[in-house]
Structure 1
Amino acid sequence: MNFKVGDLVEVRSEAEILATLDERGELDGLPFMPEMLPYCGKRLTVHKVAHKLCDTQTRTGLRRMERAVHLTGARCDGSAHGGCQTACSMYWKEDWLKPVTDAPTTSPQDSRLLPLLEINTRKPPAEDGGERYSCQATELLRAAPSCLPFTSVGQYVTDVRSGNVGLGRTVQGVAIGLFNRLQHLARRVLPRRLWLKDGLPWGFLKGRLTGKTPTMTLDLRPGELVRVKSKEEILATLNGDMLNRGMGFEQEMARYCGRTARVQARVERCLDEKTGELLHMKNPCIVLEEVVCVGVHSLNCPREFVPFWREIWLERVPAGRE
Structure 2
Amino acid sequence: MLKLNDLVKVKSISEIASTLDFSGCLNGLPFMPEMAEYAGKIFRVSLKVEKTCVDNPTMYMAEFKKNDVYFLEDLRCSGKFHDSCQRGCRIFWKESWLEKVNDEIFESHQKTSLSDDINLKLKVKKDEEIYFCQSTELRNATKPLSAKEKIFKLFKDVKIGTYNFFEALKLLILPLSRKFIKKIKDQHPRGELTKTPVEVLNLQPGEIVEVRSIEEILQTLDKKGKNKGLSFEPDMKIFCRKQFKVRTRLDQMILERNGKMIEVQNSVILEGVTCECFFTFGGCPRREFQYWREIWLKRVPVNKEETTINKSKSFAEF
* Residue 147 of structure 1: aligned partner: 145
Matches within 5 A, 1:102-117: 102=103, 110-117=115-122
Cα deviation 1:205-245 (Å, max 9, x = unaligned): 33022401121111211111111112222222222322110
After TM superposition, give the deviation of residue 305 of structure 1 in Å: 0.4
Asked whether 1:26 is paired with 2:25, we answer yes
Matches within 5 A, 1:143-222: 143-149=141-147, 152-183=150-181, 187=183, 195=184, 198=185, 200=186, 204-222=187-205
Identical pairs, percent: 34
Asked whether 1:133 is paired with 2:136, we answer no
Match 1:278 to one of 236, 261, 282:
261
Q: CA–CA distance in 2 between the matches of 1:100 and 1:145?
A: 30
Matches within 5 A, 1:29-48: 29-48=28-47
Q: Aligned pair in 2 of structure 1 residues 235, 7: CA closer, same or farther (>3 Å)?
A: farther
Matched letter for residue 47 of structure 1: S
After TM superposition, give the deviation of residue 4 of structure 1 in Å: 2.8
After TM superposition, give the deviation of residue 148 of structure 1 in Å: 4.1
Contact conserved, 1:169 with 1:296, CA < 8 A, in 2?
no
* Residue 191 of structure 1: aligned partner: none
Contact conserved, 2:247 with 2:269, CA < 8 A, in 1?
yes
Contact conserved, 1:209 with 1:239, CA < 8 A, in 2?
yes
Q: CA–CA distance in 2 between the matches of 1:86 and 1:147?
A: 25
Match 2:270 to one of 274, 278, 288:
288
Cα deviation 1:185-213 (Å, max 9, x = unaligned): xx4xxxxxxx2xx1x3xxx2330224011
Matches within 5 A, 1:294-309: 294-298=276-280, 299-309=282-292
Asked whether 1:121 is paired with 2:108, we answer no
Moved more, 25-34 or 295-304: 295-304
5+ residue gaps, structure 1, are 126-130, 188-194
After TM superposition, give the deviation of residue 58 of structure 1 in Å: 2.9
Moved more, 244-253 or 29-38: 244-253
Aligned length: 298
Moved more, 222-231 or 99-108: 99-108
> What SS does the aligned partner of 2:153 have?
helix
- Cα RMSD (Å) of the superposition? 2.2
After TM superposition, give the deviation of residue 140 of structure 1 in Å: 0.5
* Residue 4 of structure 2: aligned partner: 5
5+ residue gaps, structure 2, are 306-318
Cα deviation 1:78-100 (Å, max 9, x = unaligned): 01101000000011011111211
Matched letter for residue 52 of structure 1: K
